[in-house]
Structure 1
Amino acid sequence: MTRQRRGEETVRRLLDAALAVYTDDGPQGFTMRAVTARSGVSVGSLYHHFGSFDGLATALYSECMADLLDVLIAALEGVDDPRSGVHALVEAYLGFVRASPVKARFIHASPYLGHLEQKTAAVAKEPRLDALVAWLRPHIASGAVADLPVSMIEMLLIGPVAEVARRWVAGEPGVDLDEAARLLPEPIWRSLSGGPYGA
């Protein structure tokens, strides 16, 4: 086995162990000692590949977020109508949460852990977010989608769905993904559709 292949396998073991530790032990148990014990990888090797435990947490967050964004991008393939696209994005997001609850839990809890290097995590998301924005741009230009700053569009589009996901992975009673997928798409679309914003 080549050194590069060994390194890749070590990185994979650490990432998988980190996600397993977070899932089993929660944020309180999410420590470097727990991850290295679960993975069988030394602290020195963790530092070699990720620079720090924060670096490992950031890499895991970035990987989970990339998986989610890839699902959202795939949901837009072949969709030309903006209303249908918004519906597809909301349903795809909630579908990811149901299909990948472990990753969803890390995505929606980790910004509050203090382990993430937020700037690095944001940079990792940019190419995929750019793809979503590129899909929106012609609809903004046509007036079908409100001409708002991209950050505001992201909050209107993703914010409500992310909050449902956060509450669901936390086990809050009464939060139903099927109900959210049925009820949320149209109000979210209405919040984004072209209109006299800022008038």
Structure 2
Amino acid sequence: MDTADLLERSYPGRRAELKRDIFRQALRLFNEQGIEATTIEMIRAECDTSVGAIYHHFGNKEGLVAALFFTALEDQARLRDAYLAEATTTEEGVQALVYSYVDWVENQPEWARFQYHARYAVTRGPHKDELADRNRTRNQGLRTWLSESGRAAELNECPAELLPSLIVGQADSYCRAWLSGRVQGSPKAYRELLAQATWRSIRRESER
């Protein structure tokens, strides 16, 4: 999967062609130049469009950053939910969450890199409330899965809101190191080890 695939999934059709082009160029510039250093004029020049067209779609640079961030989160959630839908046991569900996280990052490294860099800006910026609303909606299926009857009996006693972080925490740490070049091994090459380590750390003692 490349950037174009993600954008075409998220914004299909000819009418969204300019929007996709703005997203492509903005994503590249934000990753190459940094979010703070990138200006709307720089993006406009790369897209061969007007500043007005960019403002029409996104309002301002903060709106564009947030729109890119939301697009990445939604695409990541689509893959997560598809994997989770195939799981028939709690262990398979935990595995699905780890696998989908790792696979998405390796399939979409530029989006993942931007996502890590932009998180602070979006969570502290003018779109933080929209992010909170989107998170609640996007993660409803995950919360339902975690709270299904009998699920808690297989997992260590811990707050349900903490479980997603416990499940993807190790994968997230490795993926960040891979994206920054601190490690070379493919995240996908280690996804089974990461899933096994996660399951061992959260399953109930009687299950060990």
Q: CA offsets, 1:117-148, max 9 Å, x none?
A: 33323322332211112122115655123453
Q: Is 1:45 aligned to residue 45 of structure 2?
A: no
Q: Hey, what's the Cα distance between the residues in 2 that align with 1:181 and 1:139? A: 27
TM-score by length of 2: 0.78
Report the count of equivalent residues: 192
What is the deviation of 1:50?
A: 1.5
Worse overlay, 14-23 or 174-183: 174-183
Q: Is 1:101 aligned to residue 105 of structure 2?
A: no
Q: Hey, what's the Cα distance between the residues in 2 that align with 1:142 and 1:130? A: 17
Where in structure 2 are there 5+ consecutive unaligned residues? 1-12
Aligned with residue 17 of structure 2, among 9, 13, 25: 9
Task: Report sequence identity in percent.
Answer: 27
Partner of 1:138: 148
User: Runs of at least 4 residues of structure 1 off by over 4 A?
Assistant: 113-116, 139-142
What is the root-mean-square deviation of aligned Cα atoms in Å? 2.7
1:90 and 1:184 in contact (8 A); partners too:
yes
Q: Is 1:168 aligned to residue 197 of structure 2?
A: no
Aligned with residue 193 of structure 1, among 193, 196, 203: 203
Q: CA offsets, 1:123-181, max 9 Å, x none?
A: 22332211112122115655123453333112101222222222211111355414531
Partner of 1:65: 73
CA gap of 1:91–1:27, structure 2 versus 1, over 3 A, is same
Partner of 1:153: 163
Q: Is 1:20 aligned to residue 28 of structure 2?
A: yes
Worse overlay, 62-71 or 101-110: 101-110
2:156 and 2:204 in contact (8 A); partners too:
yes
Worse overlay, 176-185 or 113-122: 113-122
Where in structure 1 are there 5+ consecutive unaligned residues? none
Worse overlay, 53-62 or 149-158: 149-158
Q: Hey, what's the Cα distance between the residues in 1 that align with 2:44 and 2:166? A: 39
